Amino acid sequence: MSNRPKSKQPAVADELIRAVCARLEENKRVRRQLPVWGRVHIDRQLPFVCLYRRPIGNADTGTDRLVTTEASYIYASAQKDQKQTLASLISAVARTLHQKFGAFLLLELWSGDSGDAPATKAPQLAKPHFRVFAPRGEELDSFVENFRGSLSRIKVSKLPAEVEVVRSSRFSPPELAPVLSASANQDIQCVSLGLEIRPIYRNPKTNDVYPVVLREIRRELTRSLRRTFYDFSSAHTKQRPKHFHTLGRRAVVKSVWEVDRQLAEVSDGFDFLLQVTPMNAERAWHQFERSRFERAPSFRYRPLPSDPIVLKRKLYAIPLERIEDPTLLSLFRNKQDELDRKITMLVDINTQNFVHGSIQIFGGVEPTLLKVATELLDRLPTRSRNSSKGGKLNAKSFAKQAQKEMDHLQLQMPACKAHVRIRDDIASTMVSRGSLLVRENAKIAANRVAALLQHEIGTHVLTYWNGRAQPFKLLSSGLAGYEGTQEGLAVLTEYLVGGLDQRRVRTLAARVLATRLMIDGASFVETFRTLDRNHEFDQATAFSVTMRIFRGGGLTKDVIYLRGLIDILEYFKNGGELKPLFLGKLALEHLPLLKELQWRKVLRPAPLRPSYLDDPEAVERLKQVRAGMTVFQLCESDLS
């Protein structure tokens, strides 16, 4: 600190600088407001900082938010009376971190011209454009070229970025003097870069921000900058990071926890699957049977436990805009949208709008999926030679077996408070909020017990409680669109424990066909007859499949079992690992984001692993899956 410039500055600024450097020396997070306007946020000891200075007399809306995605940033006012304080702060930070890393990078970011956006009443989006201002010298050529390359890969609204590199001795906005002089840079061995960005994220006439464009460019830019910091760290400092994501933010600020809590609160305000499951399934079956399968039964549903209007008011009062981290913002925003659609579906139960909402969330039946389902129904025998072996277990006997599996989880994680409950108001065995619900009059084939236990407990219960072990509640309630991956994995576990027979696969295929029939306008009775007469399902099974598809007014969720299984098989064929799928309730598309959060040490290792991984036969089957298997090959061993 003795080498800091001796120019006069307010005592409050000196105190702030000392406090910042003291925390950095102890490798603690810094998050402090700056005089007049601004903030310094440094996640931990890192060999770089991003700087933005808001120009005087220019709103420059949105630009400050381009640096707040980084693990180390400072944004401040460009007022002249603040220049000395800012220069002293950055110089002190650079000196402190230079002692740790042997080099330091200061990257200043600012907005340039609006570019070639047409001057019309409704401006069109211009291409993203970047100008990199870099010092002259061969020693930085490779680093600067990598920076240019990473920026050139950015696309915003599918428009590719244009990138220029300007070799210069000046790395600051045209109207502002450099925050550090050339001699100061040399004195503290600081490498300075400038990045000018075309402000395509705002209206060039009104300066109003385009929020969707700003979110997209923030997400793209932070990945590019993180790669650049990785290159600098690897080539010019003592640090050798294992991955560019390790330079991302680790500390989670209060606003993130608050958003996560509020989203979980809305999600916990209703149990979607329980709400759309008929309470009178058994009675409806007998009613349908007495009509000689001529009249569709009437289904009764549980009253909504929460007012949908209140839930939506809470949902959209959640301040997602306060989240600086683009990865977390993406996960939270997608979940907010899905919750909105599910709440609307609950309002639309037993109306024509219900099925439209279902297609938005779970999808319809794509031609390729229908082709696979039809081929399975035609190819697989109508009866499994193993389907009647060993008799059946009643609900109490099955619940005892299930409790043993629960005990296995609780030994690994004492905080896992999963329960097995027998109920008379559900249509089938299901998991709700980490506990297993068993239908009171259930009769479960003995040869299906292991498969059902691993489907429900080894997948659904396990991932719920693994999600609960994470800092974010969202991983237990489920990331947006998680159901397909979750059910695909659950069905695969049935194969791994030797319980996926041809009858089960035909049932999954029947769900796809029935969903297609329902979407195309077939009635309950017509769909039941197709399964009963054309595909030789017994009447109880045909009814169960049809009921599942028509519940609520038309639920397309059941297509995700076969679709999810196909996707999971492709995932393993392409080298995917099993362990990441246990982290919580997630979709395959979330894995890169969650892997990033693991690199950043935001997420913890999953504490629970399923019992079937201790079974040599299951491990061998998993090896076969990794080698590449189709859904047809999974059930070949059961073909007669």
For 24-49, the pLDDT digits (tens) are: 999 999 999 998 899 999 999 999 99
Answer yes or no: do 373 and 509 share one domain.
yes
Helix (H, G, I), strand (E, B) or coil at 81: helix
- Whether residue 115 is contained in a domain is answered as yes
- Give, in degrees to the nearest 5, the angle at Cα 631 between 630 and 635: 115
Q: 531 near 537, Cβ under 8 Å?
A: yes
Beta partners for residue 166, in sequence order: 133
Answer yes or no: do 187 and 293 share one domain.
no
The pLDDT value recorded for residue 635 is: 80
Q: What is the spatial distance between Cα 424 and Cα 179, in angstroms, rounded to a whole number?
A: 71
Q: 494 near 565, Cβ under 8 Å?
A: no
The pLDDT value recorded for residue 59 is: 84
Q: 543 near 524, Cβ under 8 Å?
A: no
- Whether residue 338 is contained in a domain is answered as no
We report the CATH number of the domain holding residue 124 as 3.40.630
Query: Which helix (H) or strand (E) covers residue 155, if one does?
Result: strand 155-156
Beta partners for residue 432, in sequence order: 435
Last-in-domain residue among 213, 248, 283? 248
For residue 529, what are the CA distances in angstroms to 42, 280, 296, 444? 65, 21, 12, 25
Q: Which amino acid is at 632?
A: F
Identify the residue whose tokens are 């210069």.
Answer: 168
Answer yes or no: do 580 and 513 share one domain.
yes
The pLDDT value recorded for residue 427 is: 76
- Whether residue 314 is contained in a domain is answered as no
Q: 192 near 173, Cβ under 8 Å?
A: no
CB crowding 261-277: b at 16 or more within 10 Å, else e: ebbbebbebbebebbbb
The backbone torsions φ and ψ at residue 9, rounded to the nearest 5 degrees and listed phi first, read: -155, 160
- Whether residue 176 is contained in a domain is answered as yes
Q: 506 near 481, Cβ under 8 Å?
A: no
Q: Is 254 exposed, middle or buried (0-12, 13-18, 19+ CB in 10 A)?
A: exposed
As a 3-state breakdown, the chain gives helix, strand, coil percent values, each rounded to 5, of 55, 10, 35
Q: 492 near 625, Cβ under 8 Å?
A: yes
- Whether residue 264 is contained in a domain is answered as no
Q: Which of 28, 211, 31, 3 is nearest to 91 (CA)?
A: 3
Termini Cα distance of the chain:
82
Q: Give me the residues of the chain with pLDDT under 50, please.
A: 1-7, 117-121, 639-640
- Whether residue 313 is contained in a domain is answered as no
CB crowding 146-155: b at 16 or more within 10 Å, else e: bbbebbeebe
Which two three-digit tokens encode residue 598?
Answer: 């693991």
The pTM assigned to this predicted structure is: 0.88
Q: 319 near 336, Cβ under 8 Å?
A: no
Residue 442 structural domain = 271-305+348-638
- Looking at the structure of the chain, the number of domains it has is 2
For residue 261, what are the CA distances in angstroms to 252, 254, 268, 280, 329? 13, 11, 10, 34, 14
The pLDDT value recorded for residue 4 is: 47
Answer yes or no: do 591 and 557 share one domain.
yes
Query: Which helix (H) or strand (E) covers residue 445, if one does?
Result: strand 443-445
Answer yes or no: do 75 and 175 share one domain.
yes
The pLDDT value recorded for residue 636 is: 74
The pLDDT value recorded for residue 353 is: 95
Helix (H, G, I), strand (E, B) or coil at 76: strand
Answer yes or no: do 504 and 586 share one domain.
yes
The pLDDT value recorded for residue 384 is: 62
- Whether residue 255 is contained in a domain is answered as no
Answer yes or no: do 166 and 102 share one domain.
yes
Answer yes or no: do 424 and 553 share one domain.
yes
- Whether residue 4 is contained in a domain is answered as no
The pLDDT value recorded for residue 2 is: 44
Q: Is 520 exposed, middle or buried (0-12, 13-18, 19+ CB in 10 A)?
A: exposed
Answer yes or no: do 215 and 286 share one domain.
no
Answer yes or no: do 298 and 370 share one domain.
yes
For residue 337, what are the CA distances in angstroms to 242, 244, 261? 35, 30, 16
Q: 133-145 pLDDT, tens per residue?
A: 999 888 889 999 9
Residues 6+ apart with CB under 8 A from 58: none
Answer yes or no: do 49 and 155 share one domain.
yes
Answer yes or no: do 291 and 217 share one domain.
no
